[in-house]
Structure 1
Amino acid sequence: MKLFPMPPVAFAALFALGACTQFGMGQPEDTAPPVTTAPSPAGDVVASDMSEGMSAEIAGVPADPVLTSAPPPPRAANTQATLDTTTTAQRKQAAAPAAPDAGAKFLGTTVASLGSPTEPGFWIKTPLVKTETKGRVTNKANGKSSAVTLIPIDGPATGGSRLSLPAMRLIDASLTELTELEVTLGG
């Protein structure tokens, strides 16, 4: 006997949130350690994580506003299609192959779960970056990729990441399982 019928996407969202809670993710607001920027000898901006005394050669590449400007889903949204408010043009732009770019840099591999399905746009919250920037994720299982905004979260570089619903749909990642991704700066 079913007391409360639940759409599959609602179940997937609850499952992902439960998994995040088990791993300590999504606890009060995720915060990144203090980051300062300084010019390098070449004139590029270099991010420096003051808590670890390390620096990463991450040039300031602004996030693409087209990929992050989707409206939030309506309150009654309860399916993948209604939670994903990105437009066809945004999905086409995110799916477009990366242009050969001398500035593209492989950041690493991460395991991602579904991020908040109510946060619109193409993004990944990951400890692989220290500043918000433009990037790309590639699903290692099928080779499909998406342009995304890389959003820093606190944690070791080996920590897990959270990927937006539109990006997960675009790269054919499972909403209920962990997905191994390659993360690239730029592209």
Structure 2
Amino acid sequence: MTKPFLRFCGILMTLALAACNQGDSARRPGSGGTAADDIGVTTESAAIAGATAPRSSGKTVGVSSIGVGGAQSVAQLDTTTGAEQARAAAPASAGRKLGVTIASLGDPSESGFWIKTPLVKTETGGRIVNPANGKSANVRLIPLGGPASGGSQVSLPALQMLGVSLTDLPEIEVYEG
């Protein structure tokens, strides 16, 4: 029983290896080179990927160019004006506490002071407070689908005003009014 099973495994392994080798020599109809040559990758990387790399528009991206040139600093992404920052930092009335939520960075390309949260059903003004340090910001409260226990997305300048690292997930208090 063992010998036939081992033979079967050996044949299966041989077929699998043969199928792997066919990826390097696969040619497209009408092409003079291999599939790997057509998409700008080396034979080694095509063999590793099983020669199934997606077709590109002809541009090749080297590892050294990933994340270079398109990166923006936090200061470049924060497009709020001095007046907006002053309004956000102004002392606010107590307001009604809506609850506590876990905050994450929202879309950094959206300017202004805002929080998208499932704690509100309609857009309104409000305030968010970081209970860890007492810092607060006046913001627009924007409804976000999901359960009230779900997290919230906060604008880049609002997180900065709360003294929160952009990669943290702090608990913040949300107030209406």
Displacement after TM superposition at 1:92 (Å): 1.4
> Letter of the aligned partner of 1:3 in structure 2?
S
Structure 1 distance, partners of 2:82, 2:171, is 25
1:148 corresponds to which residue?
139
Q: Structure 2 regions of 5+ residues with no counterpart?
A: 1-62
Q: Does 1:105 align with 2:96?
A: yes
For the residue of structure 2 that corresponds to 1:3, the secondary structure is helix
- Normalized per residue, which structure has more helix? 2
- The match for 2:78 is 84
Deviation at 1:154, TM superposition (A): 0.8
**Which one-letter code corresponds to 1:88 in the other structure?**
G
- Spell out, residue by residue over 1:71-107, the C-alpha distance to the aligned partner (whole angstroms, 9 max, x if none): xxxxx6711111111111211110111135xxx2100
Normalized per residue, which structure has more strand? 1
Take 1:85 and 1:77, find their aligned partners in 2: how far apart are those partners?
A: 16
The AA in structure 1 aligned to 2:138 is A
Q: Which amino acid is the alignment partner of residue 91 of structure 1?
A: Q
Q: TM-score, normalised by structure 1?
A: 0.57
List, as ranges, runs of 4+ consecutive aligned residues in structure 1 with deviation greater than 2 Å.
Answer: 2-7
Q: State how 1:21-36 maps to structure 2 within 5 Å.
A: none
Identify which of 69, 78, 90 aligns with 1:96. 90
Q: Which has the larger radius of gyration?
A: 2
Bigger relative contact order, structure 1 or 2 (CA pairs below 8 A, ≥6 apart): 1
- Secondary structure at 1:135 match in 2: strand
Structure-2-length-normalised TM-score: 0.60
Partner of 1:185: 176
Rounded Cα–Cα distance in structure 2 between residues aligned with 1:178 and 1:122: 18
Match of 2:167 among 173, 176, 179: 176
**Corresponding residue for 1:116?**
107
**How big is the shift at 1:3?**
2.4
Query: Contact conserved, 1:77 with 1:83, CA < 8 A, in 2?
Result: no
Return the alpha-carbon distance in structure 1 between the equivalents of residues 139 and 120 of structure 2.
Answer: 13
